Every structure is written in structure tokens, then in C-alpha cells.
């Protein structure tokens, strides 16, 4: 199994525990998260999982090596998605499965729009910077990319599950204001306006507080396909 954008290896470890007779390779561009993944995997005593710091868009994977490729929010940041999925496809055996989780459009994700409403900033549209978490939100565009990369039977499952932001409003507020896109928006404001925005954001988070923490609505796709 190949895990693209594996982060600290949570999904890789889940698969490694199930596929005890198989092997798992987790790939991520961040050296720090790969090192953390290795540490956590060693602590768990799992010996069928390895990690690699690499860019899956260009890394020379062994040809037709993997039976399954998964990614949980790790494939939206390719600068050239067509090239990336073509490269990943070469690493998969004929008939191998591809299973991805990606965000739907930013307008359908309250965890994103809530921040923009708090700072009184437009939600905006997708960009081509390579840093867009919503880059694979359009099913038609994604299906065309995967089909061109020799994947078949492309399907989309609509997932609506809340994002957990923390046990209480204070923790959620700290988490949200530490996010990159939040910090970027606040940095564009003067000090007084930024403080007002932080207060509005705290109020918005308080409206989502439940007895089991702060949960904010989100929408994602689970994308499935098969290597041709």
C-alpha cells in the first residue's frame, strides 16, 4: 500500500495493523512529519511500515509495485495534478485501487468560510499556487485528470462530517488562529481590526460548542478509481 501525503502516519498504521502480511509505504514532503511518523510507528511496534520524504509528483517509485494507494487530504497540493497522478499510476499494478479523501469546494466548508466571515474577507476561488486545499473539489475536473492518467471507474462519495476543533472554545480558538490561512488574513489587518476579528471568531466558535467539544461543519469527497 502507498499512502500519499501520509503526515504522521495515522492512516499508514491503521492499514499496517490490518494488512499484516503486506507492507506500507508512507510518503510526505515534510521531513518533520516523516520523522514523527517513524517514531510513532516504532512505538506501536509495527515493522511492516516504512516512510519516505519525497514529492509524489516526481519521485521515481518502482513500477507496478503497489496494490492500493490511499491519501487523506494529501493530494490537493500538487503543482501539476496531471503529472502527479500519472506518476503515481505508474507505481500501481493493473487493477490496483486508488482511494482519496479531498475537500469539496471552499463555499461548502464552514470551517473555512467561518474564518472569512469573522475577518470580513471574501471567500474567494481556487488558485494555481499549489497551496490550495480545494484544488480537487470539482468532480468533473478530477475525473478528467484521473482518466487521462489511465485510471478507470472513477467515483465520488459525498461525505458530510464535522471537523473537531477542540474540547472547548478556548482550545478551538487557539487552534483556528494558529492555522496558516487564518494568520495570513489577520496579518493583512491593522491591530484593532484584527482583535475585533479574533473576538468575532471566538463568538462563532462558541455557537458550535457542544457537550463533546467544538465541531464545525465540513464537506469532503471520497474519490475511488482503479488503475487501468
Q: What is the pLDDT of residues 74-89, one digit of tens each?
A: 999 999 999 999 999 9
Average pLDDT, stretch 171-192? 92
Quickly tell me which residue has 467515483 as its cell: 155
Query: pLDDT value at position 154?
Result: 98
Residue whose C-alpha is closest to residue 116's, from 208, 204, 190: 204
- 112 domain residue, yes or no: no
Q: Strand, coil or helix: what is 17?
A: helix
Question: What's the rounded Cα separation, in Å, for the pair 89 and 84?
Answer: 8
Give the closest residue to 9 by CA, choosing from 65, 66, 55, 49.
Answer: 49
166 forms bridges with which residues in the sheet? 214
Cβ neighbors of 106 (< 8 A, separation 6 or more) are 112, 113, 123, 124, 125, 126, 134, 137
Structure letter (DSSP) for residue 124? -
**How many helices and strands (H and E) does the chain possess?**
8, 10
How many Å apart are CA 66 and CA 121, to the nearest integer? 44
- 172 belongs to a structural domain: no
**Residue 122 belongs to some domain of the structure:** no
Contact 108, 194 (CB under 8 A): no
Give every strand in the sheet of 2-4, ordered side by side.
49-53, 24-28, 2-4, 66-72, 92-103, 220-227, 151-159
Distance CA 219, CA 161 (A): 7
Which of 225, 206, 224 has its CA nearest to residue 215?
206
- Residue 24's domain comprises 2-105+130-160+221-227
Question: Which pLDDT belongs to residue 129?
Answer: 47
Q: Does residue 147 fall inside a structural domain?
A: yes
In the predicted structure, residue 131 carries a pLDDT above the cut 90: no
Name residue, grid cell 458530510.
Answer: 160
User: Is residue 95 scored above 60 in pLDDT?
Assistant: yes
Identify which of 33, 67, 69, 68 has the alpha carbon closest to the alpha carbon of residue 53.
33
Q: What is the CATH number of the domain that holds 95?
A: 3.40.50.150
Express as a percent the part of the chain with pLDDT over 90. 88
Is 98 inside any structural domain?
yes
Domain membership of residue 48 (yes or no) is yes
- Mean pLDDT over 163-174 rounds to 96
Q: Which has the closest alpha carbon to 162: 172, 170, 150?
A: 172
Is residue 165 a part of any domain in this protein? no
pLDDT at 128 exceeding the cut of 80: no
Number of folded domains that form the chain: 1
> Model's pTM, two decimal places?
0.89
Q: Is residue 138 part of a domain?
A: yes
Amino acid at each position: 500500500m502507498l499512502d500519499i501525503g501520509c503526515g504522521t502516519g495515522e492512516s499508514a498504521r491503521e492499514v499496517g495493523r490490518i494488512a499484516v502480511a503486506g507492507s506500507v509505504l508512507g510518503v510526505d514532503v515534510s521531513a518533520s512529519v516523516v520523522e514523527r511518523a517513524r517514531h510513532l510507528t516504532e512505538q506501536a511496534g509495527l515493522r511492516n511500515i516504512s516512510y519516505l520524504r519525497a514529492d509524489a509528483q516526481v519521485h521515481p517509485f518502482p513500477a507496478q509495485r503497489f496494490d492500493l494507494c490511499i491519501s487523506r487530504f494529501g493530494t490537493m497540493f500538487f503543482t501539476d495534478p496531471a503529472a502527479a497522478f500519472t506518476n503515481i499510476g505508474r507505481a500501481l499494478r493493473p487493477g490496483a485501487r486508488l482511494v482519496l479523501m479531498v475537500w469539496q469546494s471552499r463555499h461548502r466548508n464552514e470551517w473555512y468560510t467561518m474564518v472569512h466571515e469573522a475577518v470580513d474577507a471574501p471567500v474567494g476561488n481556487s488558485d494555481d499556487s499549489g497551496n490550495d486545499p480545494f484544488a480537487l473539489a470539482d468532480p468533473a475536473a478530477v475525473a478528467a485528470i484521473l482518466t487521462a492518467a489511465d485510471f478507470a471507474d472513477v467515483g465520488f462519495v459525498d461525505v458530510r462530517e464535522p471537523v473537531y476543533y477542540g474540547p472547548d472554545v478556548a482550545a478551538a480558538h487557539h487552534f483556528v488562529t494558529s492555522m496558516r490561512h487564518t494568520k495570513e488574513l489577520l496579518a493583512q489587518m491593522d491591530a484593532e481590526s484584527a482583535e475585533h476579528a479574533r473576538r468575532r471568531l471566538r463568538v462563532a466558535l462558541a455557537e458550535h460548542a457542544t457537550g463533546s467539544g467544538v465541531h464545525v461543519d465540513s464537506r469532503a469527497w471520497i474519490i475511488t478509481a482503479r488503475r487501468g
